[in-house]
Amino acid sequence: METQSAAARRPARPFIEVLAGKTLVPPPIWMMRQAGRYLPEYRQTRKEAGSFLDLCYNPDLAFEVTMQPIRRFGFDASILFSDILVVPHALGRDLRFEEGRGPLMTPIDASEVDAIDGDGFHDHLAPVYETVGRLRRELPPTTALIGFCGAPWTVATYMIAGHGTPDQAPGRLFAYRHADAMSRLLAKLADQSAEYLIRQISAGADAVQIFDSWSGVLDESSFEALCVAPVARMVKIVKAVHPNVPIIGFPKGAGSLYGSFRQKTAVDALGLDWTVPLSQAKHLQAGGAVQGNLDPMRLVAGGQALDQGVDAILEQLTGGPLVFNLGHGITPETPISHVERMIERVRRWRGN
């Protein structure tokens, strides 16, 4: 365990200070999917890797693509380059990525859930932990390192459908028709994902984020059972080992349920998607740090649309703990010059 004097000597990381509740002006900034196809250096490394999974599991290449946006833009936080589906892959499910189709898996049947076990789980993910350790050693001292995983519900939807769908109808039907099997699947995913986050933190991650990209397709009672309960279980497990490491929850599309999500899961910070009104975001900010929530299409558009979106967030939310980010991941067609413009606008902000 780190001593108090060692912690005092560690350089301040603005991103971590904000997650702890501090208000900084200008706020720290990073972007979801900041290592990605909009960068020419990423496209080159991706070609070198041969396949997307090979890129995720190769510590040298995963380190390289994680560092690329830090070298180019100097973000305040770096997020591990990986994928949410490495967890079911490490649990023995097949996984491949096809260009233009995304992830593909053999759909899991309700009768197969109990056969899932964690044998070899951490061995399979050892390259990821190696990447995390190297990143923490070589990142700038003031740059935070974020580990992550998918939330159990979102990961389960891909396992059940075998691919991405517009509204995750297969996962929702599975939950209604096989409620007990779904409960057991989510519990297994919650436990293994929490252990995965614990290992990332032990390897050097300063904070972790749980992505629930498909929480917005659920009705209120399903949201409680399929989104809130498994994430709360994860937070409890992680905090029992690393009580002082902040956890960001990102229940995309949660709308009016964002507040109850924070309260019931005990996450330290909320990632907000771009549909969350800034008046609601300001109210949520009273309970702790918020992250977001620029519409990624404003970043693609650039110009006045970008400037107005950035300014509105800064005007409304820099009175409390804010991490400036997008409301979802950056898209491949985003011009690099627009990213530079956004960063410059955020960093020169000094308030009204």
Q: CA-to-CA distance for 160 and 164, rounded, in angstroms?
A: 10
- Catalytic residue numbers, as ranges: 33, 37, 46, 83, 158
Q: Enumerate residues 6+ apart whose C-beta is below 8 A from 192.
A: 87, 90, 91, 118, 121
Q: CA angle 289-291-293, nearest 5°?
A: 140
Q: What is the dihedral sign for C-alpha 286, 197, 78, 252?
A: negative
Residue 31, SS3 per DSSP: coil
- Residues in a beta bridge with 314: none
B/e letters for 77-101, b = 16+ CB within 10 Å, e = fewer, are bbbbbbbbbbbbbbbebebeeeeee
DSSP strand E in 215-288: where? Answer: 247-251, 269-271
The count of C-alpha atoms lying within 13 angstroms of the C-alpha of 121, restricted to the half-sphere facing its C-beta, is 18
